[in-house]
Amino acid sequence: MKEASFYEKLADNKVRCNLCNHFCTIAENKRGICGVRENREGVLYSISYGRIVATGVDPIEKKPLFNFLPGTESFSVATAGCNMRCRWCQNWQISQLKTRDVPGHDATPAEVVGMAIQRGCKTMAYTYTEPTVFLEFALDMMKIAHRSGIKNIFVTNGYTSEEALRAVAPYLDAANIDLKAFKDETYRKLCGATLEPVLNTIRLYRELGIWAEVTTLVVPGVNDSKEELKEIAGFIADVGIWIPWHISQFYPQYRFLDAPPTPVDVLHRARKIGIDEGLRYVYEGNIPGKGNENTYCYQCKELLIKRFGFSIVENRIKDGKCPNCGAEIDGVF
């Protein structure tokens, strides 16, 4: 537990948390929407600080980041809690708190980064739940990671407040941001949030110069219409045609069992929409071998990185350039 950053004191011992776009007003002995920030006698605490609930060593492609240090391994870490309530959350056991207790085991930032160093990872990924809600802990790890030559990645729902994102930006090297839908109603009904702040966050990543890729889980009947996919792709292209867009297959789970898995041809169609909107890199995820998970040169269409699922079969990029036409490939290689 640690006193929170990013909050202000209000009258009657209430506080306002400024960490994410919910901007919760929290009365004494209460917690914010994420369940891991608590007001004790007018002081806001991050009660998940140093409570590790999950770690793992994953290919960076699993985050997914496809244009950032491809073929390297990332040390993933999470604490419990999330500021959204997605009905299809695949990590709901750790993202949605069911009791007052914060699950996990204690570890210091240095101990966690030490594990990443020991495993030879090039990056630390703050993931599985939402890094924003454990930002103080993440930031302490991120500073140590940078001093140790390790880069930092957020896998995020994009609900971080502007103030908080600007504070971590000097230590944040890349992110994968979910853009779950292009309808505010979908965010409100199925995720417990709103759309506009997520769009603003994606724009802010660009302004801050942090490498960003965007993921959309294509859920049948929710966001799979041509119009909505076109709106999502068009928005991303407007922010930057170099931003990779990952369109991934939905599987029924948690509290959303009333839609079938996304048909593969819907993902193919979404990819075509993304390309037609001008995006340079559109990847179909969760369907190894069946979809398009390769990187092609946007200029001459040469196959540059051949993948099977999260594995790199071949990487032909040389010094960040296409070996055929010399085009600079967007990302960090």
**Closest CA relative to residue 190, chosen from 153, 160, 163, 219:** 219
Question: In whole angstroms, what is the distance from residue 246 CA to residue 84 CA?
Answer: 20
Show Cβ contacts of residue 256 under 8 Å, excluding neighbours closer than 6 positions: 87, 88, 190, 219
* Given 39, 74, 76, 91, the residue binding ligand SF4 (CB under 6 A): 91
Q: Which does 302 bind (CB under 5 to 8 A by kind): ligand SF4, Zn ion, none?
A: Zn ion
* Given 39, 48, 74, 95, the residue binding ligand SF4 (CB under 6 A): 95
Question: In whole angstroms, what is the distance from residue 201 CA to residue 187 CA?
Answer: 15
What region does 130 belong to: left with phi over 0, alpha with psi -120 to 50, or beta?
A: beta
Q: Which does 325 bind (CB under 5 to 8 A by kind): ligand SF4, Zn ion, none?
A: Zn ion
Question: Least Å distance between CB 266 and ligand SF4?
Answer: 20
Indicate whether 222 belongs to the interface with ligand SF4 (CB under 6 A).
Answer: no
Indicate whether 67 belongs to the interface with ligand SF4 (CB under 6 A).
Answer: no
Measured from the CB atom, the residue of 16 and 230 that comes closer to ligand SF4 is: 16
Site string for ligand SF4, 3-42 (x = CB under 6 A): --------------x-xx-xxx-------xxx--x-----
CB 22 within 8 A of CB 187: no
Question: Least Å distance between CB 160 and ligand SF4?
Answer: 9
CB 194 within 8 A of CB 23: no
For residue 94, give both structure tokens.
Answer: 């750790």
Measured from the CB atom, the residue of 234 and 261 that comes closer to ligand SF4 is: 261
Question: Least Å distance between CB 322 and Zn ion?
Answer: 3
Question: In whole angstroms, what is the distance from residue 82 CA to residue 76 CA?
Answer: 16
Q: Which does 83 bind (CB under 5 to 8 A by kind): Zn ion, ligand SF4, none?
A: ligand SF4
Strands, E assignment, the chain: 2-3, 7-9, 15-17, 25-26, 37-40, 43-46, 51-52, 54-59, 73-78, 105-106, 123-126, 151-156, 174-178, 211-218, 245-249, 282-285, 295-296, 303-308, 311-315
Q: Which does 74 bind (CB under 5 to 8 A by kind): ligand SF4, Zn ion, none?
A: none
Question: Least Å distance between CB 321 and Zn ion?
Answer: 8
Tell which positions 144-163 bind ligand SF4, by CB under 6 A: 157
**Closest CA relative to residue 294, chosen from 97, 330, 304, 182:** 304
Tell which positions 256-315 bind Zn ion, by CB under 5 A: 297, 299-300, 302
Indicate whether 89 belongs to the interface with ligand SF4 (CB under 6 A).
Answer: yes
Question: Least Å distance between CB 56 and ligand SF4?
Answer: 15
* Given 63, 75, 112, 130, the residue binding ligand SF4 (CB under 6 A): 130
Indicate whether 48 belongs to the interface with ligand SF4 (CB under 6 A).
Answer: no
Indicate whether 325 belongs to the interface with Zn ion (CB under 5 A).
Answer: yes
Q: Which does 23 bind (CB under 5 to 8 A by kind): ligand SF4, Zn ion, none?
A: ligand SF4
Question: In whole angstroms, what is the distance from residue 194 CA to residue 183 CA?
Answer: 9
- Overall size of the chain counted in residues: 333
For residue 286, give both structure tokens.
Answer: 């969760």
Q: Is the dihedral angle over the CA atoms 155, 84, 2, 47 positive or is it negative?
A: negative
Indicate whether 79 belongs to the interface with ligand SF4 (CB under 6 A).
Answer: no
Indicate whether 176 belongs to the interface with ligand SF4 (CB under 6 A).
Answer: no
Query: What residues make contact with ligand SF4 under the rule CB under 6 A?
Result: 17, 19-20, 22-24, 32-34, 37, 82-86, 89, 91, 95, 129-130, 133, 157
